[in-house]
Structure 1
Amino acid sequence: MSLIAHLTELRNRVAKSLLAIALGTVVGFLWYDHGLLTFLSDPYCRLPNELRLQGDGDCRLVVLDVFGGVLLRLKIAFIAGTVLSSPFWLYQLWAFVTPGLKRNEKRYTIGFVVASTTLFALGSVLAYLTLRKGLELLLTLAGDEVAFQLTAELYLGFVISLLIAFGLSFELPLIAVALNLVGVLSYQALKKSRRWIFFLTIVFAAFVTPTQDPFTMLAMAGPMVLLFEMAIQIARFVDRRRARRADLEHFHDVDDDEASPLDATPSALETTPPAYVDDLRREDQPADGPAHTRG
């Protein structure tokens, strides 16, 4: 394809993606009053009544300006529409990129898309489950004589930022795996830096979490440490397989009339495939049989 053809295809796929996001935003706009707002405000509404200004059990978020409610609804609808339409616009991105990829690159790309989507979803779910405890801890620190009436804009913005922060933080171990697969980051480097990785993960969680309370920080740092340990073990497996493949390629990369680069020593034979060891032993035998059988 020519450059103009590539640009035309990119324009068409971007237009389709934007149309899908617009349709998703419409769905999110309609969904706002039918469960979406309730879902987002539920962690706040489940707090003890003494922490909220409405002590009679009523739970309402406050809007302080005329256009605040409209803008808030559009913002939430756009975010929901982007999430709902993500399978379609991710497919458009994949369809544009895939013709330029090799077969193994396509396989890796599909795996990383599935893994990144799963990790982001798991991070967001964990953030939602820990949100109520984090809010309760923060609001309790203000004292027994203080009751809170949160504004809708600040509270919903806080909830969305927390979900995104958890989701994106769970992608960091996947980046380490990607760097190992392309040969930039080795298992030995990850192994030597394991303590620093775990320490920086805790520091990262302390700064990234919007609540910045110990409960939410540990809820983010704990799973991230486990994911990083899994990434280190995956790098270990990949590097071992890469080294084994390199040894086999080095063994085969000789002409028929050249000597094998392997030495017929016990250490070399231990790392040589059995079939090739038998060949080496047969080559060492004289043509007329072993020495002790010859007259």
Structure 2
Amino acid sequence: MSRRPSVLRKRNPEGRMSLAQHLRELRNRIMIAGGAILAGAVLGWIYYDAIIGRLLKPLKDVAAERGDAGLVNINFGGMTDPFATKITVSLFVGVILTSPVWLLQIWGFIVPGLTKKEKRIARLFALAAVPLFLAGCYAAFVMVPKAVGVLLDFTPTGAYNLQEGTAYLNFVLKFILAFGFAFLLPVFLVALNLAGVLPARTMLKAWRPAVMVIFVFAAVMTPTPDAYTMVVLAMPMVILFFGSVGLAFFFDRRRERNQPDWLDVPDDQASAL
């Protein structure tokens, strides 16, 4: 009678997966995430007209304010641009709708070697990643009209704003996704802490460069020249960063309490070794 190979037999004596097994796991998770995104993109394709109408609303609002003073709309320069734009928007919708699936796949690949208790906590944080990502996307969606309005205010009097359709939509979609991924910062920091890669003390010592990197990231990702938009993106990221540091300290202390006494080696003996 043939026996199905168990997961434990596939691991080496130390219980770790080989490089080939990691690559196979990565391939499988990418296929699952990609299949889910494609399934969500089908819905984006079906409801494309309603979605594109919402994405073009900032331009329509500016056009309504100007009246006859200037034309504001999008323009497709090539015959294939409308088709390519519909595919792009559909995939964008797929990424948003299936965020629970691909976020869980990313999390499962980052922290595979946790204990049962840590895995239960990890699932909670994986579930927390979904509302954080969606909250970031929603915050960006709310700010897009202001960003578009500020940028179009630089148009000289009497000039028209005929935006290239693909470029405009890429700008809006990247803006929304940038906010969504920015709000995932604490989730990945906690994941690295649970995996034993990033201790809480290291995170706290690096708070100054971390805050600086956050503000630089916010300045690069916000297309408007005003500081208000940059601060709106940066401040939640700073708060989430320090929140993740606090959680990392909690997990580090819990890990130290559960550590066996024989692993506590005095400093003088450790230096002698």
Normalised to the residue count of structure 2, the TM-score between the two structures is 0.72
Aligned partners of 1:15, 1:193: CA distance in 2, in Å? 36
Match of 1:222 among 220, 224, 235: 235
> Offset of 1:198 from its aligned partner?
1.5
> Offset of 1:224 from its aligned partner?
0.6
Match of 2:152 among 134, 139, 150: 139
Range with greater deviation from structure 2 (237-246 or 168-177): 237-246
> Offset of 1:232 from its aligned partner?
1.9
> Offset of 1:18 from its aligned partner?
5.4
Partner in structure 1 of residue 40 of structure 2: 24
What percent identity do the matched residue pairs reach?
A: 35
Partner in structure 2 of residue 37 of structure 1: 52
Q: 2:76–2:82: 8 Å Cα contact kept in structure 1?
A: yes
The one-letter code sitting in structure 2 at the alignment partner of 1:218 is V
The one-letter code sitting in structure 2 at the alignment partner of 1:131 is V
Spell out, residue by residue over 1:20-55, the C-alpha distance to the aligned partner (whole angstroms, 9 max, x if none).
Answer: 54443332212012x21112112332236455xx63
Partner in structure 2 of residue 260 of structure 1: none
Q: 2:75–2:165: 8 Å Cα contact kept in structure 1?
A: yes
The one-letter code sitting in structure 2 at the alignment partner of 1:117 is V
Q: Does 1:190 align with 2:203?
A: yes
Aligned partners of 1:36, 1:173: CA distance in 2, in Å? 30
**Once superposed, what is the RMSD of the aligned Cα atoms?**
3.9
Partner in structure 1 of residue 268 of structure 2: none
Q: Does 1:72 align with 2:85?
A: yes
Q: 2:107–2:126: 8 Å Cα contact kept in structure 1?
A: no
Q: 2:72–2:160: 8 Å Cα contact kept in structure 1?
A: no
Aligned partners of 2:143, 2:112: CA distance in 1, in Å? 42
* Change in CA separation of 1:31 and 1:18 when aligned onto 2, cut-off 3 Å: same
> Offset of 1:94 from its aligned partner?
8.6
Partner in structure 1 of residue 221 of structure 2: 208
Q: 1:161–1:210: 8 Å Cα contact kept in structure 2?
A: no
Aligned partners of 2:226, 2:143: CA distance in 1, in Å? 11
Structure 1 residues without counterparts, runs of 5 or longer: 254-295
> Offset of 1:128 from its aligned partner?
0.9
Higher Cα radius of gyration = 1
The one-letter code sitting in structure 1 at the alignment partner of 2:86 is R
* Change in CA separation of 1:122 and 1:183 when aligned onto 2, cut-off 3 Å: same
Aligned partners of 2:201, 2:25: CA distance in 1, in Å? 43
The one-letter code sitting in structure 2 at the alignment partner of 1:80 is V
Q: 2:75–2:164: 8 Å Cα contact kept in structure 1?
A: yes
> Offset of 1:104 from its aligned partner?
3.4
Q: 1:49–1:57: 8 Å Cα contact kept in structure 2?
A: no
Q: 2:62–2:72: 8 Å Cα contact kept in structure 1?
A: no
Aligned partners of 1:96, 1:172: CA distance in 2, in Å? 17
Aligned partners of 1:178, 1:8: CA distance in 2, in Å? 21
* Change in CA separation of 1:136 and 1:189 when aligned onto 2, cut-off 3 Å: same
Structure 2 residues without counterparts, runs of 5 or longer: 11-21, 263-273
Q: 2:111–2:191: 8 Å Cα contact kept in structure 1?
A: no
Does the residue aligned with 1:150 lie in a helix, a strand or coil? strand
Aligned partners of 2:129, 2:109: CA distance in 1, in Å? 19
* Change in CA separation of 1:10 and 1:180 when aligned onto 2, cut-off 3 Å: closer
